[in-house]
Amino acid sequence: MPENPGARQELLVQGIAASQGIAFGQVFLYLQNDVELPDYVVEPEKRKDEVARFEQALLQTRQQISKIQGQVEKNLGPDEARIFDAHLMVLEDQALIGETVRDFEATHHNIETCFNRISARYIKAFDEIDDEYLRERASDIRDVAQRMLRNLLGQAARNLSQLAEKRIIFARDITPSDSAGIDRSQALGMVTDSGSKTSHAVIVARSMKIPAVVGVRDLTQRVNDGDWVIVDGYDGVVIINPSESTLFRYGQIRRAKETLQARLMEANRQPAVTLDGVNVRLMANIEKVDEVALVKEYSAEGVGLFRTEYLYLNEEKMPTEEAQFEAYRAIAAGIAPNPVVIRTLDLGGDKPMAASAHLFGKEENPFMGFRAIRFCLEHTDIFKDQLRAILRASSHGRVQVMYPMISGSEELAKANAVLEECKTELRGRGEKFDEQLAVGAMIEIPSAAMTADILANHCSFFSVGTNDLIQYLLAIDRVNDRIAHLYEPSHPAVIRTLRALIDVSHARNIPVSVCGEMAGDPVFAPLLLGLGIDALSMTPPLIPAVRYLVRAMTMADAVALANEALTLTSPKEIYAKCDAFYRARIKVD
């Protein structure tokens, strides 16, 4: 540690909190440069060899990635190693490979130039996707493309094995290949210019249990090797050259956070019951079969949202009914006797699928375009494969099905009609399924919220997707940096819409849960419960904080908070009340 770490001016940068914790140490600046490519025309007699050279590089790259995957599985575990499945799939992508060869045959430019041109087109397409998870696939393609190009050029890939002492890694991005060389004993934290909460850097940081902040834009251009920094993975803050007073303050914060985390984990072993004896159902949002272990680890009372679209991504063919059945069956059996809510395919214009790119055209406004239930009702063959798989899985646990992006009763009735057709087909095949399978609708479009009494005639439960509902109610594109500050869950329109929805639904004996981000935020959870929400579903690691708060409050106080919020006119006022409620109950010695 330097004698005076504050000798240079302190700089505070806000990013995205990615992996919890606080780290203090020196910068290791890791800048992975793109390869420099030659560009030339291949002579006719050498063109056959050029294609063979491309095929050899594909084989070599596959072997390298498989080796890295084995190292990661040994050092970090099988879950982290699965990251590289996506990389291997890129190398098997017949569209990418075929387009490269066709580009070479048409232009006769060297294969590096052709591959770089085609892969860049794919990277650009995924970079522009609004969905955070899907956008990360651009990093997969970029990582594989750089490795391929180095192999074609006979260059050795750089890695992070240079981390010879304890440092905080700063990089534009940290790819899975980069992360494979990291010595866990030497990495204090990670900071990246790009990335999101679902980026590979985040997955690795969480696995290594080190603090991480991503999305700090061009910070790698403003720091130097050896600079002293604080990484705050709780609030997403990076402080360059912290002053002595800042160091002292963060020392106190770290101790307080560690004490709080210990309390949260202790509370997570207890039932989610308020001080006045009201049971609260806390459920999990998952998207992969192997996340069943997380549901159990965090004591969730079932799965409130299983996002099935991730079974479709990166596949060369649509997943078969049998493949889907195996996935749904594994989840249903693994979660039993608790329920599993399986959401039908929620993909569309802004979320391309490798297996069905021809079915989705470019749209001016994809968020309101041809997606989710709209796509399924037009492509009933795909929809029916999924519904039959869900029905069959229902004989192996407490399965429920839920339709996304329902805007009115006609869509809901049509979806149910297709479901009935699937039931008839399964009966004809002698297949077993739950004849009383519960059907639900996601409330994420204002028209659905306003017609909940009509929708109630066609389903038995509602789940509120607050992320989209807020976006549509306030006409705010939540991924647009210029207006993201206007995305306010505490807006009176949101609170009033939720109350109206809950009142109507309960009058019809329809339970209402929330599976959007509000559910996992301990500041908003009491407000939702006070409004009358019956269950909260969230990413598993968020459960301890919400469970702790539930056990530290009374439902009567939550109801009073909700009633007061309904009288307020400013989002900031409502948030302040919710925050004060939270802080009064989360105390750290």
Task: State the catalytic residues.
Answer: 200, 515
Judged by DSSP in three states, 212 sits in: strand
Instruction: Give dist(CA 91, CA 84) in Å, integer.
Output: 11
Tokens of 254: 């770290």
Is the distance from CB of 505 to CB of 512 less than 8 angstroms? yes
Is the C-alpha dihedral spanning 220, 225, 230, 231 positive or negative?
positive
**In the 8-state DSSP scheme, what is residue 279?**
B
Direct distance between the N- and C-terminal alpha carbons of the chain, in angstroms, rounded to an integer: 28
Instruction: Give dist(CA 95, CA 258) in Å, integer.
Output: 49
Alpha helices in 432-570 (DSSP H): 446-450, 452-455, 466-474, 492-507, 525-531, 543-551, 555-565
Q: How far is CA 161 from the centre of its chain?
A: 29
- Residue given tokens 């439960």 in the structure block: 461
Judged by DSSP in three states, 118 sits in: helix
Closest CA to 235 of 15, 511, 441: 15
For every residue of 141-206, DSSP letters joined together read HHHHHHHHHHHHHTPPPP-GGG--SSEEEEES---HHHHTT--TTTEEEEEESS--TTSHHHHHHH
Helices and strands: H and E segment counts in the chain: 23, 16
**In the 8-state DSSP scheme, what is residue 109?**
B
Instruction: Give dist(CA 182, CA 159) in Å, integer.
Output: 8
What angle separates helix 83-92 from helix 137-153, to the nearest 10 degrees? 60
Judged by DSSP in three states, 343 sits in: strand
Please tell me whether the peptide bond between 5 and the residue prior to it is cis, using omega within 30 degrees of 0: no
* Burial (CB count <10 Å: 0-12, 13-18, 19+), residue 371: buried
**In the 8-state DSSP scheme, what is residue 348?**
B
Is the distance from CB of 456 to CB of 435 less than 8 angstroms? no
Angle at 111 between CA 105 and CA 114, to 5 degrees: 75
